[in-house]
């Protein structure tokens, strides 16, 4: 009933679909605001707001605007290099993709996500009713999740769910893409990503996207020396 097509091993079609998914999720160069909400089983929550810029497949920088305790913290990712700037410390320090600058279920790789096609190859693609299921394998060992299983709307080419696995095959977390919204300028994408994890039962993290728009940005905006000044681009 559900399986109509399966393209095994390395899938060029799957890679092409993945690149389209990337472009549908965001333009090549853009800015956006995001609210991150960590929800605990007792209903308590903590919110963060960040301003983010991204250019190309593997350059992204963010700065926290709130809460007050986090304001000014900035992160930069250039491919597999990641840094965190803490205003008190006064200099960027290297961090790793598995850490989390916010706590909660999202880690740095989720918050500073590169294009999926920059980090993963599609090994297999299946059709399940009106969804494509992409089986993605990390290109290198330094990627946070060893493999992904991505459910994609076969018409809109937008993801609806992604399961993230460790190299052992253990499910680390699931991302749910919700509330598709027109941000203008041809950007139509889910405005909410929810995530939960079997490793943190009862906990949930939510990312809400706002004011996503195309913007010309110089390469120098994605450098270590500029990290403390990212907020000046708002």
Partner 1 sequence: MKRTLFAFSVYVVCLLLTFLQPAFGEYEYGFDLSEIEKEVEKKPYHIGGFLEFRPVLFGLDKDSAFYKIKFYDKDEGSTLEQYNSRLRLEGSYHKGIVGAFFRADSTLWYGYEGWDGDITLLEGFLALKPGPSFALEAGKRVAQWGKGYAFNTVNFVSRPKDPDDPTEPVEGYYLAIADWIKSFGGPLKTLAFTPVILPVTESINDKFGEPDHINFAAKLYGLLWDTDIDLLFFTGKSRTTRYGMDFARNITENLAIHGEFAWLPGFDKKSIDSQGRLYTQKSDIMKYLLGIRYLTTNNMTFILEYYHNGAGLDSNDADNFYSFVDRAYDKYLSTGNSSDLNKAAKLSQGSLSTFKPFRNYLYFRGSWSEPFDILYFTPAVFSIINLNDRSLSITPELMYNPITNLQLRLRGGLLIGGKNTEFGEKQNDYKVELRVRYFF
Considering beta carbons, is residue 13 or 47 the nearer one to partner 1? 47
154 contacts partner 1 (rule: CB under 8 A): no
Q: What is the smallest separation between the CB atom of 132 and partner 1, expressed in angstroms?
A: 26
Considering beta carbons, is residue 17 or 50 the nearer one to partner 1? 50
Options 7-15, 21-29, 150-158, 211-219: segment touching partner 1 (CB under 8 A): 211-219
66 contacts partner 1 (rule: CB under 8 A): yes
Options 10-18, 64-72, 116-124, 152-160: segment touching partner 1 (CB under 8 A): 64-72
143 contacts partner 1 (rule: CB under 8 A): yes
Residues 86-105 that bind partner 1 (CB under 8 A): 86-91, 93-100, 103-104
In the set 17, 36, 63, 65, which binds partner 1 (CB under 8 A)? 65
157 contacts partner 1 (rule: CB under 8 A): no
Q: Going residue by residue from 43 to 62, which x/- string records binding to partner 1, judged by CB under 8 A?
A: xxxxx-x-x-----------
Considering beta carbons, is residue 11 or 116 the nearer one to partner 1? 116
Which string of DSSP letters, residue by residue, matches the chain?
--EEEEE-SS-HHHHHHHHHHHHHHS-SEEEEEEEEEEE-TTS-EEEEEEEEEEETTTEEEEEEEESTTTTT-EEEEETTEEEEE-TTT-SEEE--TTS-SS-SS--HHHHT---HHHHEEEEEEEEETTEEEEEEEESSTTSSSSEEEEEEETTT--EEEEEEE-TTS-EEEEEEEEEEEEEETTEEEEEEEEEE-TTSTT-EEEEEEEEEEE----GGGGSTTTGGGGGGG-
């Amino acid at each position: 009933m559900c399986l109509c097509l399966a393209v095994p091993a390395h899938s060029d079609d799957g890679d092409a679909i993945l690149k389209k998914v990337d472009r549908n999720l965001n333009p090549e160069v853009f800015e956006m605001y995001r609210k991150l909400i960590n929800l605990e089983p007792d209903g308590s929550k903590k919110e963060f707001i960040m301003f983010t810029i991204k250019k190309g497949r593997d350059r992204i920088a963010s700065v926290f605007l709130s809460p007050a305790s986090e304001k000014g913290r900035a992160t930069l990712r250039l491919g597999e290099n990641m840094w965190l700037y803490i205003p008190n410390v006064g200099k960027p320090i290297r961090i790793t993709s598995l850490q989390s600058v916010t706590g909660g279920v999202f880690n740095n790789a989720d918050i500073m996500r590169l294009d999926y096609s920059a980090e993963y190859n599609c090994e297999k693609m299946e059709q399940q009713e009106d969804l494509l299921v992409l089986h993605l394998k990390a290109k290198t060992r330094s990627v946070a999740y060893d493999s992904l299983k991505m459910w994609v709307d076969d018409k809109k080419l937008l993801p609806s769910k992604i399961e993230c696995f460790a190299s052992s095959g253990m499910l680390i977390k699931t991302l749910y893409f919700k509330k598709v919204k027109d941000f203008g300028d041809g950007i139509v994408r889910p405005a909410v990503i929810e995530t939960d994890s079997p490793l943190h039962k009862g906990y949930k993290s939510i990312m809400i996207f706002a004011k996503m728009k195309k913007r010309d940005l110089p390469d120098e905006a994605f450098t270590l020396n500029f990290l403390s000044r990212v907020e000046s681009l708002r």
